[in-house]
């Protein structure tokens, strides 16, 4: 897949492997941004310029935004510098987009991080490509991130393909109302029986879940969600489904955040297998997203 100009995929050294996969799928070259950390913690970046000290007119930056805080500073430094070095069109490929869950001030004075971080990234990039951003109270990414081109892909269908192979005839369950959108996409693709739980969150590691009306007796259940963070949501849903007679419960998520003891908590709850997309590198990765990301990149760069 050749592109009209000499666009390149810029990346940081900790994402060399996904950058190479994306560049190969898109027919682009991948070039590393050098990063130096000063003794006091500040960063210095050096972008890969050509012999005349310039970047291509169109540049792509790959940065999946798990553990996002320092990466946001990297993006600020890299994007502003790329403009100075000749890049006129900048695309951010962020397979995981951080801060999308904090989309409302639940208490007076709280930051609505979705809007703040979305606005910040829109000020740096012309286009953003991401996968399953957590859009709950808004419908389109542009409402949080007003870029010229916003492309949202989903892991639900490729995960559904995997589930159909590994657990044909599975009962697909979403652990909360927000997962209904991904459950609907996955169920439509393979005609899975499906249902969605209701959840109330009381704290970071404290949720209450109610199962929907379903007959889980003897069924192979797969819990599908956009992400697992502490794993408490999926762990509680698993316990309830096993108590309701499920023969097995496996887990499929787009974003494998799995903070702290999340995987251990899932295992202790009785989860069998855990599958994820490679939007966030993790041992559970079972679905590659380089192909869909590269196709989206072509659409963005051709526009």
Q: With binding defined as CB under 6 A, does residue 230 bind ligand R5P?
A: yes
Q: Does 229 bind ligand R5P (CB under 6 A)?
A: yes
Which one, 130 or 230, has the nearer CB to ligand R5P? 230
Binding mask 44-73 for ligand R5P (x = CB under 6 A): ------------------------------
CA–CA separation, 266 and 230 (whole Å) = 9
**Which residues is 189 bridged to in the sheet?**
none
Q: Which stretch binds ligand R5P (CB under 6 A): 30-38, 91-99, 146-154, 221-229?
A: 221-229
Report the candidate in 271, 291, 80 with the shortest Cα–Cα distance to residue 167.
271
H runs (alpha helix) in 64-205: 69-84, 113-122, 156-166, 180-190
Taking the least distance from each CB to ligand R5P, the nearer of 229 and 284 is 229
Applying CB under 6 A, which of residues 227, 266, 279, 280 lies at the interface with ligand R5P?
Answer: 227
103 lies in the site for ligand R5P, by CB under 6 A: no
User: At CB < 8 A and 24+ separation, what contacts does 281-287 make?
Assistant: 281/17, 281/18, 281/64, 282/256, 282/258, 284/256, 284/258, 285/256, 286/162, 287/155, 287/158, 287/159, 287/161, 287/162
Pick one of 232, 246, 289, 296: the residue that binds ligand R5P (CB under 6 A): 232
Q: Determine which residue in the list 178, 242, 244, 267 makes contact with ligand R5P, applying CB under 6 A.
A: 178
CB contact at 8 A, 153 and 96: no
Select which of 58, 89, 199, 232 is catalytic: 199
Active site residue 71: no
Place of tokens 């953003």: 128
Task: Note the residues at the interface with ligand R5P (CB under 6 A).
Answer: 101, 175-176, 178-179, 207, 225-233
Residues designated catalytic: 199
């Amino acid at each position: 897949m050749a592109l009209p100009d000499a666009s390149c995929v810029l990346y940081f050294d900790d994402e060399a492997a996904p950058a190479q996969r994306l560049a190969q799928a898109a027919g682009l070259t991948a070039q590393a941004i050098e990063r130096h950390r000063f003794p006091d913690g500040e960063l210095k970046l050096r972008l890969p310029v050509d012999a005349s000290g310039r970047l291509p007119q169109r540049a792509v930056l790959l940065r999946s935004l798990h553990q996002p805080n320092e990466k946001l500073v990297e993006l600020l430094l890299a994007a502003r510098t790329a403009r100075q070095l000749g890049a006129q069109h900048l695309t951010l490929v962020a397979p995981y987009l951080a801060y999308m869950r904090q989309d409302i001030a639940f208490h007076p004075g709280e930051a609505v991080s979705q809007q703040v971080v979305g606005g910040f990234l829109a000020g740096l990039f012309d286009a953003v490509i991401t996968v399953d951003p957590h859009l709950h109270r808004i419908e389109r990414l542009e409402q949080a991130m007003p870029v010229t081109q916003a492309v949202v892909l989903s892991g639900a269908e490729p995960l559904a393909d995997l589930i159909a192979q590994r657990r044909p005839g599975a009962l697909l369950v979403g652990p909360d109302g927000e997962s209904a959108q991904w459950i609907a996409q996955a169920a439509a693709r393979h005609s899975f029986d499906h249902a969605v739980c209701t959840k109330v969150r009381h704290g970071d590691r404290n949720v209450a879940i109610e199962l929907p009306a379903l007959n889980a007796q003897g069924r192979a259940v797969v819990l599908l969600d956009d992400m697992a963070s502490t794993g408490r949501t999926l762990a509680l849903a698993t316990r309830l489904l096993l108590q309701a007679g499920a023969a097995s419960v496996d887990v499929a998520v787009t974003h494998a955040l799995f903070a702290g003891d999340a995987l251990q908590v899932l295992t202790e709850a009785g989860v069998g297998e855990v599958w994820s997309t490679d939007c966030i590198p993790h041992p559970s990765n079972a679905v590659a997203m380089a192909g869909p990301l590269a196709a989206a990149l072509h659409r963005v760069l051709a526009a």
